[in-house]
Amino acid sequence: MMRIGMLTSGGDCQALNAAMRGVVKCISHSGEQVEFYGFLNGYKGLIYSNFRMLTSEDFSGILTRGGTILGSSRTPFKTIREPDENGLDKVEAMKQNYYKLQLDVLVVLGGNGSQKTANLLSEEGLHIVSLPKTIDNDLWGTDMNFGFQSAVDVATNAIDNIHTTADSHGRVFIVEVMGHRVGWLTLNAGMASGADIILIPEIPYDIDKVVEAIEAREKRGSRFTIMAVAEGAISKKDAKLSKKEYEEKLAKSPYSSVSYAIADKILKKTGREVRVTVPGHMQRGGAPDPYDRVFASRLGAEAGKLILKREYGFMVAYKNREIVKVPLSEVAGKLKYVSPDATIIKEAKMLGISFGD
Check which CATH number belongs to the domain holding 307 and give it: 3.40.50.450
Task: Please check whether residues 259 and 310 belong to one and the same domain.
Answer: no
Closest to 20 (Cα-Cα) out of 5, 34, 10: 5
CATH of the domain at 261: 3.40.50.460
- β-strands 128-132, 314-319: how paired? parallel
Which residues, in sequence order, are CB contacts of 322 under 8 Å at separation 6+? none
On whether the pTM is more than 0.75, the answer is yes
Task: State yes or no: pLDDT of 273 exceeds 90.
Answer: no
> Does residue 342 sit within a domain?
no
Q: Cβ–Cβ contacts within 10 Å for residue 14, how many?
A: 30
The C-alpha R_g of the chain, in whole angstroms, comes to: 22
Which structural domain range is residue 54 located in?
2-147+288-331
> Does residue 243 sit within a domain?
yes
Band of the pLDDT at 157, cuts 50, 70, 90?
very high
- Contact 23/87 with Cβ under 8 angstroms? no
Task: Please check whether residues 163 and 214 belong to one and the same domain.
Answer: yes
Residue 170: what pLDDT?
A: 79
How far is C-alpha 244 from the chain's CA centre?
Answer: 24
Band of the pLDDT at 347, cuts 50, 70, 90?
very high
Q: Cβ–Cβ contacts within 10 Å for residue 85, how many?
A: 5
Residue 56: what pLDDT?
A: 87
Task: Please check whether residues 98 and 162 belong to one and the same domain.
Answer: no
| Predicted confidence (pLDDT) per residue in 43-57, tens digit | 999 999 999 999 989
Task: State yes or no: pLDDT of 252 exceeds 90.
Answer: no
Task: Please check whether residues 117 and 157 belong to one and the same domain.
Answer: no
- Contact 306/312 with Cβ under 8 angstroms? yes
The three-state secondary structure class of 237 is: helix
Residue 248: what pLDDT?
A: 87
- What are the backbone dihedrals phi and psi of residue 37, each rounded to the nearest 5 degrees, phi first? -120, 125
Cα dist. 223→131, 163, 168 in Å?
Answer: 45, 11, 8
Task: State yes or no: pLDDT of 166 exceeds 90.
Answer: no
Q: Report the mean per-residue pLDDT for the chain.
A: 95
The residue-averaged pLDDT of 84-100 equals 96
Task: Please check whether residues 274 and 311 belong to one and the same domain.
Answer: no
Task: Point out the catalytic residue in the list 12, 136, 138, 153.
Answer: 136
Task: Please check whether residues 11 and 50 belong to one and the same domain.
Answer: yes
Number of domains into which the chain is organized: 2
Residue 136 is among the residues annotated as catalytic for this protein? yes
Task: Please check whether residues 58 and 132 belong to one and the same domain.
Answer: yes
> Does residue 336 sit within a domain?
no
Task: State yes or no: pLDDT of 315 exceeds 90.
Answer: yes
Band of the pLDDT at 272, cuts 50, 70, 90?
confident
> Does residue 352 sit within a domain?
no
Band of the pLDDT at 246, cuts 50, 70, 90?
confident
Task: Please check whether residues 143 and 157 belong to one and the same domain.
Answer: no
Task: State yes or no: pLDDT of 249 exceeds 90.
Answer: no
> Does residue 178 sit within a domain?
yes
- Contact 27/104 with Cβ under 8 angstroms? no
> Does residue 338 sit within a domain?
no
Residue 136: what pLDDT?
A: 96
> Does residue 320 sit within a domain?
yes
- What are the backbone dihedrals phi and psi of residue 73, each rounded to the nearest 5 degrees, phi first? -160, 165
Residue 123: what pLDDT?
A: 97
The residue-averaged pLDDT of 212-227 equals 92
The residue-averaged pLDDT of 55-66 equals 93
> Does residue 167 sit within a domain?
yes
Band of the pLDDT at 260, cuts 50, 70, 90?
very high
Domain boundary among 284, 318, 352: 284
On the 0-12 / 13-18 / 19+ scale of CB atoms within 10 A, 142 is buried
Task: Please check whether residues 322 and 302 belong to one and the same domain.
Answer: yes
Task: Please check whether residues 274 and 312 belong to one and the same domain.
Answer: no
Task: Please check whether residues 12 and 141 belong to one and the same domain.
Answer: yes
Task: State yes or no: pLDDT of 41 exceeds 90.
Answer: yes
